[in-house]
């Protein structure tokens, strides 16, 4: 009798274990998106290699109200970048960038891959375009090579060299306070931007119409982004002072 009871409870435990296994959420992007309302290309995102390491820094812009922000990657870059069955979620903590106006994932990586970032908003899953990491074949160049024309002190003009190998798709510029609060975030196709002149801006993530103040320190950050969303060059925290 005792043996029968032991077998009986063993079967119950095995059944519960199998049920739990079946109820575990999948970490495959295709299965996460199955049956959901999705919007592709809706998450602005790119990635760069960390200075002096092979770590990947994946940056993204979370729209207000975004939840369940997730990082997915393929095992290698030798896959169809649009085959969502090849992407698996990696449990990474998102870090605030520009004090939370943007977000950033840091990922150790010795192999080049494809990355996708998603979040949920308004009962939809927003999906970034695939990001091709190139930390081995083309590490991101970090520099401070930008010229600043302050003829008009509160509307400085920023200029930088054109991408020398012609694989640039767009330039992303951020003006931030000395405390790293984002003041403006803009995209141009040209290698110049004037604060706050939007005549050549093709995408704008700025809230309202910002203004600079006299005799105040600010930072300028630039990202040269390729067609596959890899950051070729980063000009980080170039300091300037309004007169």
Q: Where are the domains of the chain?
A: 29-132, 141-241
DSSP secondary-structure letter at 209?
Answer: -
Residue 228 and residue 130 in contact, taking contact as beta carbons nearer than 8 Å: yes
The angle formed by the CA atoms of residues 38, 41 and 42, to the nearest 5 degrees, is 70
Q: Positive or negative, the Cα torsion across 164, 162, 59, 181? A: positive
pLDDT value of residue 23: 53
3-state DSSP helix/strand/coil percent for the chain, to nearest 5?
10, 45, 45
Residue 99 and residue 181 in contact, taking contact as beta carbons nearer than 8 Å: yes
pTM of the model: 0.89
pLDDT value of residue 87: 98
- Per the document, the length of the chain is 243
Fold of 141-241: Immunoglobulin-like (2.60.40)
Q: Which of 114, 137, 127 is nearest to 47 (CA)?
A: 114
**In sequence order, what E strands does the chain have?**
38-49, 56-61, 67-73, 88-89, 95-97, 102-107, 114-121, 124-128, 131-132, 141-143, 147-149, 157-159, 168-177, 182-188, 192-194, 201-204, 217-226, 231-241
**CATH classification (class only), 29-132:** mainly beta
Q: What is the pLDDT along the chain (243 residues), one digit of tens a residue?
A: 444 333 333 333 344 444 444 556 789 999 999 999 999 999 999 999 999 888 999 999 999 999 999 999 999 999 999 999 999 999 999 999 999 999 999 999 999 999 999 999 999 999 999 999 999 999 999 999 999 999 999 999 999 998 866 789 999 999 999 999 999 999 999 999 999 999 999 999 999 999 999 999 999 999 999 999 999 999 999 999 998
DSSP bridge pairs for 168: 226
Q: Do domains 29-132 and 141-241 have the same CATH topology?
A: yes
């Amino acid at each position: 009798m005792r043996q029968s009871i032991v077998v009986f409870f063993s079967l119950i435990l095995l059944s519960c274990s199998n049920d739990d296994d079946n109820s575990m959420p999948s970490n495959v992007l295709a299965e996460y998106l199955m049956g959901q309302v999705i919007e592709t290309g809706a998450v602005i995102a790119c990635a760069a290699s960390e200075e002096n390491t092979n770590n990947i820094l994946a940056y993204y812009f979370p729209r207000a109200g975004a939840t369940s922000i997730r990082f997915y990657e393929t095992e290698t870059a030798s896959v169809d970048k649009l085959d969502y069955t090849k992407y698996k979620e990696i449990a990474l903590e998102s870090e605030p960038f520009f004090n939370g106006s943007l977000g950033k994932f840091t990922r150790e990586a010795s192999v080049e891959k494809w990355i996708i970032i998603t979040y949920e908003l308004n009962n939809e899953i927003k999906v970034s375009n695939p990001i091709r990491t190139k930390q081995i074949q083309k590490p991101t160049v970090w520099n401070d090579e930008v010229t600043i024309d302050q003829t008009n002190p509160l509307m400085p003009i920023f200029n930088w060299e054109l991408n020398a190998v012609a694989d640039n798709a767009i330039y992303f510029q951020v003006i931030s306070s000395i405390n790293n609060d984002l003041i403006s975030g803009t995209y141009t196709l040209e290698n110049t931007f004037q604060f706050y002149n939007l005549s050549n801006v093709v995408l704008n993530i700025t809230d309202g119409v910002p203004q600079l103040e006299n005799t105040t320190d600010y930072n300028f950050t630039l990202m040269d982004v390729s067609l596959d969303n890899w950051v070729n060059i980063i000009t980080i925290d170039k300091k300037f002072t309004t007169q």
